[in-house]
Structure formats: C-alpha cells, structure tokens
Chains A and B, each alone.
Chain A
Amino acid sequence: GGIITQTPKFLIGQEGQKLTLKCQQNFNHDTMYWYRQDSGKGLRLIYYSITENDLQKGDLSEGYDASREKKSSFSLTVTSAQKNEMAVFLCASSIIQALSYEQYFGPGTRLTVL
C-alpha cells in the first residue's frame, strides 16, 4: 500500500498573501490532482498533472498555480488569498490502467484566511 501526505494540515494566512500547499505520494502513481472542498459544494477540481512537469487546469484554476517537479510531489499555490476564505484542499493520485481508475486521497489541508 501507499500513502498521500499533505502539508501543512492547517494553514492560516492573511488577505493577499501567497500560500503554498504541498502533497507527496508514494504509490508511484502517474497522475495527481488538487481539489477544493467547500461545505455543501462537493469537490471541485483545481489542477491535475498527468506526469511530472505536466499541468492541466481544472474548472477552478483561477487564483491558483501548481507545480509538479517530481513524480511523487505536487504543489498548489494560492496566488492571493481572499479574506474570509475557508476551505479544505484535497490532493489525490491515480494510476490509469485497465479496470483501475479510482483516486486515492490525502487527509487535506484546511485553509483559513483572516
């Protein structure tokens, strides 16, 4: 088995601040994802990466940057934090092979902007 680690677990920032969230996986999966989870709104895709150095925008990419410099890690940057913003950011990974498309998730980073 493997594990996805997200750091930090809790992130508190100021309005306008640039904030970076990190994700590491040891599944040796090719594809990694960043989702934003807001209460009552399910999961919305921010960015995904098919392999290292690849970046693809999801539905919610505005206001975010991402970086995939290694196969095992995927970082997300909030370019300018919005006041009163509260959300959980979930990192996931998957391997695309026959009959195995499920995503595996990390525990999340909880963001609060003051």
Chain B
Amino acid sequence: AQSVTQPDARVTVSEGASLQLRCKYSYSATPYLFWYVQYPRQGLQLLLKYYSGDPVVQGVNGFEAEFSKSNSSFHLRKASVHWSDSAVYFCAVSHNTGYQNFYFGKGTSLTVIP
C-alpha cells in the first residue's frame, strides 16, 4: 500500500536553530515527492518538489530537502528557522501519471520560539 509517514506530529525549536522534519514513504512506483506548508487558516502552499536528478532540492524561504531512495525518505531541512516558519508541514508523494495518486502525510506542526 502507498503511504507517507511523518513520525513527528509536533516539533518545537528556537529561532535561529536548524531544523529537520522527517518524511518516509512507501510507494511501489518511482515517486514524485513534495513538501507543502500550511499557515493558520490558509490552504497548502508548495515549498519544494523532487522529480529526478540531484537528490537535494532547494525550495522557497531557505528550505531544502534530500531524497534518499535507499531509505525511502525525503526529509526537509532549514539551516536557521524564523518565527514566521511556524506552520504545519505536509510531505506528499505522487506518481508520474498524476491524477488521483497523491498521498499526504498527517503533517508536522512546527512551533518556532522567539
């Protein structure tokens, strides 16, 4: 079965600290991987995506993620977080045929303490 696991429901870090949010996936086909962010009372916004090539992809606002085929992971990182990064982060996996095959993790709620 296809699935996405975000093992940490909540993460709290201090402003200026580094961040890693974990994502593991189980997918039978070659995956397309995404990280979305949801700010309070808003929809989801795309942070970054991975289709192929360099396993480290850069996104908006200093975020990056690294794809690991051997570990079935796509962890999100940021070198120095800001209080405005407080939000819920969703990892998602899709297939190269698009349409229905989008699977989301349950999300990680990030709180950045000033």
Q: What is the size category of the interface that chain B forms with chain A?
A: 20 to 34
A interface, CB within 8 angstroms of B: 4, 31, 33, 40-43, 45, 48, 50, 56, 58, 90, 92, 94, 96, 99, 101-108
Contact B98 A105 (CB under 8 A): no
B interface, CB within 8 angstroms of A: 9, 32, 34, 36, 41-46, 49, 51, 90, 94, 96, 98-100, 102, 104-107
Contacts of A106 in B (CB 8 A): 43
Task: Contacts A48-B99, A102-B49 given; indicate if A90 touches B106 (C-beta within 8 A).
Answer: no
Contact A42 B104 (CB under 8 A): yes
Contact B99 A96 (CB under 8 A): yes
Residue among B32, B41, B90, B102 making CB contact with A45, cutoff 8 Å: B102
Q: How far is the CB of B3 from chain A (nearest CB, A)?
A: 10
Residue among A48, A96, A102 making CB contact with B46, cutoff 8 Å: A102
